[in-house]
Amino acid sequence: MSNQYKTVFLFRMNLTISKVLLLLFFLCGSTALFAQNDRLVQVTGVAKMKDTSDVIPYMGVFVKNKNVGTLTNENGVFSLLCYKGDTLLFNRVGFRSKELVVPATLDQNFFTTVQYFVQDTFYLKEAIVRPYLNAAEFDYAMRYKQYDGDMYDAIKENTSKEVVKMMMRNMPRSAGENAAFLQGQQATQATYYGQQAPVGLFNPFKWAEFYKAIQRGDYRSDKKK
């Protein structure tokens, strides 16, 4: 066999191997995407009072240990996308919190439920409000009134910049913020329906964000201590 035929033969072999590898890559990616989507479940339900069966509007519904959540509407209805086996946390002021585990053995991608809640009564400390007659008296009281030293130190410490920054960093999202975050995630995922989402492994901007996160200490195990 001449060198020319050998070159053509090797070229065709390499081309065939490349096609096979590319086909295997797409098959593996499609299988992984299908397996992940098969674990997704749309949870729809209603929140009601246990005694009267009245609906409970604007109750927070969160996926435990994840930044995903929503609110019940004015009719007490909610709809949330999560994974099978996730735990949903229901929370609203005036009601006892409750958890619901989405069955991991569901053979379908939707789950409906009706959750009943008991009202929770709690009492606040007494607060006395004394109005001032005019702005001058209020200004005099703020300038010269004597406060307890321990209370003043506690107020000063709790309103310091370090404490405020720590609270802003560790405070969980509200129900509205979780709902907006979930909608943003769903909008991003909808962009790549039917195809594999891009991998940022070779994206220099992603590496820059990762390096900044390490410098901030976002991945430190003792961050919340």
CATH code: domain of residue 74: 2.60.40.1120
Q: Does the pLDDT value for residue 222 go beyond 70?
A: no
Higher-confidence residue: 193 or 96? 96
Q: Is the pTM of this model over 0.85?
A: no
In a domain, 173, yes or no: yes
Highest mean pLDDT among 21-25, 176-180, 197-201: 176-180
Question: Residue 39: CB partners within 8 Å, gap ≥ 6?
Answer: 83, 84
For residues 7-32, give the mean pLDDT.
Answer: 49
Q: What is the pLDDT of residues 70-98, one digit of tens each?
A: 899 999 999 988 999 999 999 998 899 99
pLDDT of residue 62: 92
Confidence of residue 205 (pLDDT cuts 50, 70, 90): confident
* Domain membership flag for residue 4: no
Q: With 70 as the cut, is the pLDDT of residue 109 above it?
A: yes
Residue 106 domain-assigned (yes or no): yes
What is the rounded CA–CA span in Å between residue 106 and residue 150?
57
Query: Are 52 and 90 part of one and the same domain?
Result: yes
Residues 100 and 45 reside in one and the same domain: yes
What pLDDT sits at residue 57? 92
Cα maximum dimension of the chain: 110
Tell me which residue range forms the domain holding 109: 39-117
**139 and 212, same structural domain?**
yes
Total domains in the fold of the chain: 2
How far apart CA 8 and CA 10 sit, in angstroms, is 6
Pairwise CA distance, residues 54 & 212, whole Å: 49
Highest averaged pLDDT of the listed ranges 87-101, 131-145, 199-213 = 87-101
Which class for 139: exposed (0-12), middle (13-18), buried (19 or more C-beta within 10 A)? exposed
CB atoms within 10 A of CB 34: 9
Same domain, 109 and 149: no
pLDDT at 179: 84
Q: What is the pLDDT of residue 181?
A: 84
51-69 per-position pLDDT tens digit = 888 999 999 999 988 888 8
75, part of any domain: yes
